[in-house]
């Protein structure tokens, strides 16, 4: 069954780009963790909640990218099965790892 995903067309990346995004996301999570440890004592509750939300969002992004990387071999096998000889690489989405590029009846992707 086809259901429109929340992933835009520009969120689909090939393996090298996904690996670069994952590394950047890990660095970002690490920086936020270090900042939270440094600033833990002198923050008010509202600022602390904001920082916790930023950390959670960065961690979730890292997890989505990792999941997209884990699904790439399966996507590549499916792509090769459908299109023999094209040599095109599979792409995974950074916003919705389970999303796939497919044609829709109304002409959209």
Residue whose pair of structure tokens reads 């299109």 in the numeric block = 83
DSSP-H helix ranges across 1-109? 15-39, 45-82
Could you identify the residue written with the tokens 């509750």?
Answer: 45
Give mean pLDDT, residues 99-105. 63
Residue pLDDT, tens place only, 3-17 = 556 666 667 778 888
Q: Is residue 103 domain-resident? A: no
pTM here is 0.63
Domain membership flag for residue 104: no
21 found inside a domain: yes
Q: Is residue 72 part of a domain?
A: yes
Domain containing 38: what range?
Answer: 11-89
Point out which residues pair with 12 in neighbouring strands: 93
What is d(CA 24, CA 65) in angstroms, rounded to the nearest whole number?
11
Residue 35 located in a structural domain: yes
Angle at 41 (CA atoms; ends 36, 42), nearest 5 degrees = 95
- DSSP class of residue 40? S
Q: Could you read off the pLDDT of 15-67 as tens digits, one per residue? A: 888 889 899 999 999 998 888 877 766 666 567 788 889 999 999 999 989 98
Domain membership of residue 45 (yes or no) is yes
In a domain, residue 31? The reply is yes
Number of domains in the chain: 1
Residue 47 lies in a domain: yes
């Amino acid at each position: 069954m086809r259901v429109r995903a929340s992933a835009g067309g520009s969120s689909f990346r090939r393996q090298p780009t996904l690996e670069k995004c994952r590394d950047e996301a890990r660095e970002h999570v690490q920086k936020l963790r270090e900042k939270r440890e440094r600033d833990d004592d002198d923050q008010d509750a509202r600022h602390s909640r904001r920082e916790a939300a930023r950390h959670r969002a960065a961690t979730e992004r890292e997890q989505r990218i990792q999941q997209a990387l884990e699904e790439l071999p399966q996507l590549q096998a499916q792509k090769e099965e459908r299109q023999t000889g094209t040599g095109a690489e599979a792409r995974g989405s950074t916003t919705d790892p389970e999303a796939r590029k497919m044609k829709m009846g109304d002409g959209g992707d």
